[in-house]
Chain A
Amino acid sequence: MLRASAAIERAGFPTVSIVSTGFLKQAEVVARGLGIDDLKIAHYPGTPMVDSSEELRRKVAGDLAPQIIEALTSARASERKQAAAREPAPREIVFRGTLEEVNDHFYDAMWTDGLPVFPPTLAQVERFLRFTERAPDEVIGVCPPDNREATVWNIAVTGVMAGCRPDYMPLLIAVVDAVTDPEFRIQDAGSTPGWEPLITVSGPIAAQLDFNSGASVMRIGRRANSTVGRFLRLILRNMAGFRFAPGAGDKGSIAQNFFVALAENEEACREVGWLPYSADRGFQPGENIVTVQSVVSVSPPIYTGSDDPLEHARVLAEVVGQSCGYWSPVAMTYSKNNPLIVLGPSIAKVFAGHGWSKAGIRQYLYDNLWIAADDAERYAYYIGLTGFRLRDHVAKGLLPPEYCASDDPKRRVRMLLNPESIGIVIAGDAGRNQSKCYCSNHTQGPPVSRKVTLPRDWDGLLARR
């Protein structure tokens, strides 16, 4: 919300922004990142979503309105809260200590995730830089809300800290390039649902860097999957400013842990005759691609058993519907939804063996996932989307007319906005019959893909690593 206020201030209009108690600390980070750290705030005390209407009106009249009047009538302009402190240069040594002292220093400065980090020495950072031809000072992207530049240098520093190997560097750059695309909306990665980005790795680089795509995929334990996932969490913390108390910026109410990176089993794709996920994302099969998307919740393990693909599809639809149904009104509100299905290789084999394509699975899910209209509006309201009405969204063209086909509050409306937005990746234990669904968080973190650019002497560098 403060982004709108800042844009309005820049256009020359005075503003005051209504912020409830729980968001005050986050507002500080956002306002600083927007370059207006003294944005005028009117504080709504408490949590508006649990106040009675009477209590709400009392707070507006007694607390909020006087602050708004003061803010809008005061002749004062800026009151800079503090002068910006000098920031160290990239190669400047900011601390010297033992492994334990470095970790304590970084933890106290809120630069770590609470786990031990590799000390980012100049020598270690230089090892990472050998795996890219890009200049260390090249800005790959800017990370709001704290609005810090993610340069090739910073990416290497963060990779060292996360425990990555130097040869992950081209992939790390691609990940940062993806999440700093404005479409990804990295600035919303600290929103209250507590969503977490998930990185999917496609192409031969997954095997070259020893990613796990088989049994126990998505569990911490394989260095590439684990540290690349952790790397992105550190980027969110140190470049975008998503820290929680005693820091600020991260408002995940009951948030998720970071995800280890997901690698697709492209061999399984070839076996069943399907193109890999990267091709679904618009790239050539065999290209090295990373795709990053938000995940707000994970389904239970979806065990399906039969040699009939329709039975697999039925159970998939049931469990995906149960898992993502409650969150589907958020997708309707923002007209965007990108669930990701991780399909076990044996399940893919049954589907493909009976002539089903990934498009067929997507269409089946689209056709068979429904929610009652009044449940959709009720859930949306409780989530805080109190302005959401299906009828209004249809009138504005944000949802198709079928969402208001009648006035029956119990009419069924589709959970999914279109079949094409469902991602399908083959991974997991080939010896079992399990799949899982990862629900996305609408416009916050839609899938964004980037090609991994390798240095010219990639094979030589790998041979010498």
Chain B
Amino acid sequence: MLFISQLSNALVIGTLYALMALGLSIIFGVLKLVNFAHGESLMVGGYIYYFLATSFLVKLWHLPLSLILILTLPLVYLFGILIERVFLSPAYRKQTARYEEYVILVTFTLAIFLQNLALPVFGPYNRQAPAILKGRIKIGDLIIAGDRLSAAVIALVVILLLLFFLYRTYPGKALRAVAQNATAAAIVGISVERMRRMAFGIGMSLAGIAGALLGPIFLVNPTMGIPFAVKAFVIVVLGGMGSVKGTIIGAYVLAIVESFGSILLPDPSRALAYKDAYGLLILVIILLFRPQGLFGEKERRA
């Protein structure tokens, strides 16, 4: 029974991990950069959902929370596009000599900036966002918290929609084309700059919606994104940077390792203290021995 409940927990959390890690992966695939501000887009999404869901308008018009959730998506998308426009595309267009270092510095600084802007603006306290499904849900012997289940189901729907978009629609295919070979994509008439912007917007909004879903389960605060961003880094490294399939598998692998790792280890108190270090250790080990990830392909040098 413990096994089943741990497993279902891992599946729920894994789906949410997959959602935000896919965002990071898409950004890496198309823009070739690690978005160090990914956790902060999750935080932004969490706050947007929180403030919309608790605003008087919702109470006044009895708007359903699912509508609010859907509204979060375009808002974070716009936020992402804005950031891409202001900080990333000028450097890309000018072919800045140190582009690779520049984007690391910019996204890292952006993360610090957003965290520390949210701190005085929203206050350091935790806020509890309302969940779409409350209470507990019983499936056979299994009891799952409603907020977790609804979050996982919605996350799954969003992931499926994303996959449909990427593999079945024209802009999605264009996005993947740019990820594979930007020059060739440009030659066949795809606007690389527009695709880069779209990819960044989509990546950020996936983290944003994950934030909105995680808000009711964990809590909304200025630094809520950090642990999830770290997990997303681990996942994309595990699955191979930019690989969609690898990212999804990596997300579930990490979730399973996390939920079983802590019950399997001796000396529980120390194991707990090091809980956040396991994923990081996996990340370092993979980067050292299989930098293309477990599922990624080797990239061409030079």
Do A and B interact with each other, yes or no?
no
